[in-house]
Amino acid sequence: MDLIQHGFLRGIAYGLLIITVVMTATAWGMWLERKIAAQMQNRMGPMFVGFHGLLQPVADMLKLLQKEDILPAGADDWLFNLAPILTALFAIATAAVVPWSAQIVASDLDVGLLWVLALGGIMVVPVWMAGWASNNKFALIGGMRAVAQSVSYGVPLVLTSMVAVVFTGTMSLSGIVQFQMAHGWLIYWPPGPGIIAFLLFYMALLAESNRIPFDIPEAESELVAGISTEYTGMKFGMFYVAEYVHTMVGSAIAALIFLGGWDGPFHWLPGLHWMVAKTVILFVSVYWVRWTLLRFRSDQLMRLCWLYLVPMSLALLVFAAVWVTYFAA
């Protein structure tokens, strides 16, 4: 029992659990996405393996594991091999601090939100490494675009989450949720700015996780496959998984800081249910948007960010500060 109480071991145990759960959830997230897309497109989606193709992600991963590992001529082998590992690592590391209910959290950092945002920001480094090391012009352009985009969209992402921090007065993710349980969800309290902040956060999230309409770093029709053009087998699989983990954790964070986390109308239902339901709804909505919209051009993307999102989130932040100082008390 003592061992379990020991913070370090407890962290490891929870960490392993979280990795397993997140990876499993991600795998079936991919399946879910494919099925949703197929339904939207009058298709069936995966059907041949398992019930309605439920085993498809397993097959995908098994296949990717067996593929030959190619190092392109002229590639920088260190960076080339490191990039996918770091991408997957950072993506999963963000999952560590996400509280799924009041009790289920691997590491409830005081600065959990900062941790998530920081890791999300640093994700750009392996992406750029991949683009640079591939010795492929398409990958290079994809990497450049990814850097430009993440750096730009990191700003509204941080600013809008700061709105939540200013309102709640804490950077701990569970603290934010507890505040919301006491005062109401941020999305409708205070009326107005909450929902705008949520929408801005959502858009920035789409951009951060490279989802249409902001998926210009990948842009298959222009850049073949963007940064992952030269990657084969499991290395490509890591990028692939990291994307989904990123989206899933992003959805979870959005649910936590704006939608009340594990707070729900009926308290007899364990909080985990609410949290998972909110995350899945947001996750699905990301894919709903993805399979509906076309893609922006890179300069339009930058314009949208710097001319609209950044000023609006700045204004929101100021409003939040004013509100907290003069009205909330």
Partner 1 sequence: MATAANSPTESRYRLDQVDADADLMVLNFGPQHPSTHGVFRIKLILDGEIVIRAIPYAGYLHRGVEKLLEKLTYAQGVPIVDKNDYVSPMSNEQALVMAFEKLLKVEVPRRARYLRLIFSELQRIASHLLWLGTFALDMGGALGGGSTVFMYCFRDREGILDLFEAVTGGRFHYNTHTIGGNRHDIPLGWDKRVLAYLDMLEPRIAECESMTTNNSIFVARTQGIGLIDKDLAQGLGLSGPLLRASGVDHDLRRDAPYHAYDEVPVRVMVEQAGDCQARALVRVREMRESIRLVREALAGLPEGGINSGKIIKMPQQFKAQSGQVYAAIETPRGELGTFVIAGGGDKGTAPYRLKIRAPSLHALSALPWILPGHTISDVVVVLGSLDPIMGEVDR
Partner 2 sequence: MAVDEQGSAPNAAGQVEAGTPEVPVIQAQSPPIAAKTAVPLAATALSAAIGPGHGSVDESVQAFEHPIYKTLLNVPGLSVAVASLDQLLTWGQKSALFMFPMATSCCGIEFMATAASRVDVDRMGAIVRGTPRQADVMVIAGTITVKMAPKVKRLWEQMPEPKWAVAMGSCAISGDFYRDLYPTIPGIDTVLPVDVYVPGCPPDPQSLMHGLMRLQEKIGLKRAGQWVPTEVRPETEKMTNPGVRRLIDPQRDPEVTAQQTRLALAATVDEPEGELLESGAEAVEQQLPQDLQTLLRERFEVEVFPADAAPIVARKHHLHLARTLKAMGYLNFVYVVASHWPSKDGETFEVAYAVRRTGPGTTLAQWRVQLAADEPIESLAEVWAGADWQEREQYDLVGVQFAGHPDLRRLMLSDDWQGHPLRRDYPADKACFPWR
**Is residue 252 within 8 Å of residue 209, measured between CB atoms?**
no
Is there a cis peptide before residue 270, judged by omega within 30 degrees of 0? no
> Is the link from the previous residue into 190 a cis peptide, with omega within 30 of 0?
yes
Residue type, 108: D
What whole-number distance in Å separates Cα of residue 114 and Cα of residue 137? Answer: 34
d(CA 106, CA 174): 12
- Which residues touch 197 (CB under 8 Å, ≥6 apart)? 160, 163, 164, 186, 258, 313, 316
Residue 28: helix, strand or coil by DSSP? Answer: helix
Q: From 20-28, 36-44, 118-126, 192-200, give the range in contact with partner 1 by CB under 8 A.
A: 36-44
Binding partner selected for residue 324 from partner 1, partner 2, none, CB under the kind-specific 5 to 8 Å limit: none
The C-alpha atoms of residue 52 and residue 144 are separated, in whole angstroms, by 39
Q: Helix, strand or coil for residue 4? A: helix
Q: Does 246 bind partner 1 (CB under 8 A)?
A: no
The answer to whether 41 contacts partner 1 (rule: CB under 8 A) is: yes
**Cα 246 → chain centroid:** 3
The verdict on 45 binding partner 2 (CB under 8 A) reads: yes
Q: Contact region for partner 2 (CB under 8 A) — 37-45, 172-180, 190-198, 274-282?
A: 37-45
Identify the residue among 104, 111, 225, 312 touching partner 2 (CB under 8 A): 225
When the beta carbons of 49 and 324 are compared against partner 2, the nearer one is 49
Q: State which of positions 239-268 bind partner 2 (CB under 8 A).
A: none
Give the residue, chosen from 292, 307, 325, 328, that forms a contact with partner 1 under the rule CB under 8 A: 292
Return the residue matching tokens 């392109």.
72
Site mask for partner 1 (CB under 8 A), range 206-235, x = bound: ------xx-xx-xxxxxxx-----------
Q: Which is nearer to partner 1, 294 or 329 (CB)?
A: 294
**Contact residues for partner 1 (CB under 8 A)?**
37, 40-43, 137-138, 141, 212-213, 215-216, 218-224, 290-300
**Contact residues for partner 2 (CB under 8 A)?**
34, 38, 41-49, 53, 55-56, 58-70, 220-221, 224-225, 228-233, 236
